[in-house]
């Protein structure tokens, strides 16, 4: 079974998370020019593969690993990992954004996250 991840777009750039066989890396491409800004920046040594597509929100790029770790990057011309959040459970599906909520399905749970006011 082939797994195809879609890209995330933020501020005119496209971000791709590569599979484990290609070093679990994040790439950035300027969408309208096709210019590669950075290529194969390793997300984290020892991280598992990324089956879910990355997503963009609030000027950040998010990538959810199969281990259930969400990696948060700045959506800019320089590669910068900002945060890592762990769900401690396998995640294979791409999260869904529904209004102000983020829905993440793990192996046994459905998480609904939203900003606290």
pLDDT in tens, 5-52: 666 776 666 666 655 444 455 565 555 556 666 666 666 665 667 788
The boundaries of the domain holding residue 34 are: 8-114
Number of domains in the chain: 1
pTM, two decimals, is 0.76
Asked if the structure places residue 101 within a domain, the reply is yes
Asked if the structure places residue 13 within a domain, the reply is yes
Asked if the structure places residue 71 within a domain, the reply is yes
Asked if the structure places residue 1 within a domain, the reply is no
Asked if the structure places residue 3 within a domain, the reply is no
Nearest C-alpha neighbor of 96 from the set 85, 84, 111, 107: 111
- Residue 42: give its domain's CATH number: 2.40.128.630
Asked if the structure places residue 2 within a domain, the reply is no
Contact 47, 53 (CB under 8 A): no
């Amino acid at each position: 079974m082939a797994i195809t991840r879609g890209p995330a777009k933020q501020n005119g750039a496209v971000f791709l998370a590569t599979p484990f066989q290609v070093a679990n890396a994040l790439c950035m491409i300027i969408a309208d020019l096709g210019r590669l800004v950075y290529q194969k920046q390793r997300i984290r040594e020892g991280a598992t593969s990324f089956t879910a597509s990355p997503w963009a929100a609030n000027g950040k790029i998010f990538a959810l690993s199969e281990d259930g770790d969400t990696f948060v990057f700045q959506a800019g011309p320089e590669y910068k990992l900002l945060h890592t959040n762990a769900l401690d459970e396998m995640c294979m599906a791409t999260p869904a954004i529904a209004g102000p909520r983020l829905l993440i399905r793990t192996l046994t749970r459905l998480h609904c996250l939203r900003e606290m006011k």
